[in-house]
């Protein structure tokens, strides 16, 4: 498995080995011991999956506050997304900064997003399926969101704003300046 930092502390791209022949392929997409060799020692407790029918579905920016904060390991089963992590650790030197990476079934890559980061993605293709592991279960009381288009963050989404499709919850999320974040 290849492990590569992508610019903000703790956010890493993982690319599992993939072995194929004329029948298809096999890949070990998660191996706790192998990740531990790279200093990643997490206990995932829940798997989530989303299906987006159209290109331009934007989900996020989501996170959970302590004590129910979540590390996430995100991968694409079908299609492609532009995946984003935003540092929301108020004392961090990179507070409010973001990184983005294309994840796709073809690239076979994953993104590890640690606690203290808001997460979101936009689909780049119709019929995209995203799966992710989390280190704590969903907790509505701790669930929070930040606007995807907050100018203080300045994410460069690769889809035109008028083509984005958002949930009502995401469309009314607060700004980073007004959000409860990690202290």
Task: Give the span between the Cα atoms of 105 and 34, in whole angstroms.
Answer: 21
Sign of CA dihedral 82, 112, 87, 170: positive
Q: How confident is the model at residue 7 (pLDDT cuts 50, 70, 90)?
A: confident
**Average pLDDT for 29-42:** 95
Mean local confidence (pLDDT), 70-86: 98
Instruction: Verify whether residue 132 is a known catalytic residue.
Output: yes
Over residues 30-45, mean pLDDT: 95
Nearest to 71 by CA among 33, 116, 30, 26: 116
Q: List, in order, residues 6 or more apart from 171 with CB less than 8 Å away.
A: none
Q: pLDDT confidence of 106, banded at 50, 70, 90?
A: very high
What mean pLDDT is predicted for residues 50-73? Answer: 98
Span 98-112, average pLDDT: 98
Which candidate in 63, 127, 132, 142 is catalytic? 132
Active-site residue (options: 62, 119, 127, 138): 62
Q: What is the mean pLDDT of residues 119-126?
A: 98
Phi/psi of residue 59, each to 5°?
-120, 120
Nearest partner of 12 among 75, 57, 94, judged by Cα: 75
Q: How confident is the model at residue 9 (pLDDT cuts 50, 70, 90)?
A: confident
């Amino acid at each position: 498995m290849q492990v590569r930092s992508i610019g903000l502390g703790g956010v890493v791209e993982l690319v599992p080995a993939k072995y194929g022949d004329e029948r298809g392929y096999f890949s070990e997409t998660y191996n706790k011991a192998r990740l531990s060799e790279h200093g990643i020692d997490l206990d995932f407790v829940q798997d989530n999956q989303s299906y987006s029918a159209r290109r331009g579905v934007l989900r996020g920016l989501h996170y959970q506050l302590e004590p129910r904060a979540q590390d996430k390991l995100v991968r694409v089963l079908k299609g492609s997304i532009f995946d984003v992590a935003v540092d929301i650790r108020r004392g961090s030197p990179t507070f409010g900064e973001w990184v983005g990476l294309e994840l796709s079934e073809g690239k076979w890559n994953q993104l590890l997003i640690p606690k203290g980061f808001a997460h979101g993605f936009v689909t780049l293709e119709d019929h995209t399926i995203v799966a992710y592991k989390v280190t704590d279960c969903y907790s509505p009381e701790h669930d929070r969101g930040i606007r995807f288009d907050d100018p203080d963050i300045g994410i460069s989404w690769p889809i035109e704003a008028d083509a984005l499709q958002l949930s009502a919850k995401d469309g009314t999320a607060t700004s980073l300046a007004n959000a409860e974040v990690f202290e």
